Amino acid sequence: MNWIDPLLTRRTLLRSGLTLGSAALLVPGVFAEQLARTPRLTEGPFYPDKLPLDTDNDLVIVSSSITPAVGEITHLTGRVLSSSGEPVRDAVVEIWQVDAKGVYLHSADSGRRTRDPHFQGFGRFSTNAKGEYRFRTIKPVPYPGRTPHIHVKVKKGGKELLTTQIFVQGHPQNQRDGVFRGIRDVVDRELVLVDFKPVKDSKIGELAAQFDIILGTTPSDKPGPRS
């Protein structure tokens, strides 16, 4: 296997790096450049205009309710890493997405349509010493004009570091989605595609999805020639 192949996706490199150990992530010329590749994508118009009282990392249960949200329960995990592969501690990862009916937690959307009151719609989590984060949410669903996706924002020390989106690997609507098609770089596209896999032995059909967030420049961020 050619470790320096420029078409290797970040997903492949990270899985290899995790298998080989953290030292492999720091090998000059092999992982460092590939790790600096989570592309920035639009925040969109539906970042909550009023945050819910419950903003924890479990979007499936709201506050003390015992009724779960409708949808395929998904355990979304990953790490926030620097461009050199070092874990970023105490970064705040936020996610927001539509409920199973395709409705956002935003007055411009939920004010017109009835949303699932048992779905939190927004959550945040601070990374640990290993840069790890985790959420329990639902698998994203399509809605008119958009393919399934989850919005992600990373903050640290009050500063926004990255806003992007997660897309479902292999979903047929991806190629018709304006945001996804707007990602011109082939490698960048691969970086935001995530597999949603069944959790082994889950009795309720839970899914697992892993998305590692690499802070740094991407191919589309590189400055062009001065005019």
Tell me what pLDDT residue 34 has. 52
> For the chain, which residues make up each domain, given as ranges?
10-216
The CATH homologous superfamily to which domain 10-216 belongs is Aromatic compound dioxygenase (2.60.130.10)
For 136-171, how does the pLDDT look when each residue is reduced to its tens digit (9 = 90+)? 999 999 999 999 999 999 999 989 999 999 999 999
Residue 214 tokens read as 């690499």
pLDDT at 225: 38
CA atoms of 37 and 160, how far apart (whole Å): 17
Choose the weakest-confidence range: 5-19, 87-101, 115-129, 164-178. Answer: 5-19
Structure tokens at 119: 């779905």
Given a cut of 80, whether residue 30 has pLDDT beyond it is no
- pTM for the whole thing? 0.82
pLDDT band at 26 (very low <50, low <70, confident <90, very high): very low
Confidence band of 220 (pLDDT split at 50, 70, 90):
low
Q: Mean per-residue pLDDT for 26-55? A: 77
Mean pLDDT of 79-98: 95
The residue with greater pLDDT, 18 or 79, is 79
Neighbouring C-alpha atoms within 13 Å toward the C-beta of 182: 10
The two beta strands, 132-138 and 73-81, are antiparallel
pLDDT more than 90, % of the chain? 73
The pair of structure tokens assigned to 154 is: 């990373």
**At 150, is the secondary structure helix, strand, or coil?**
strand
Give the 3-state secondary structure percentages of the chain, helix then strand then coil, rounded to 5.
Answer: 15, 25, 55
Sheet holding 122-126, edge to edge: 122-126, 92-96, 149-156, 159-168, 193-194
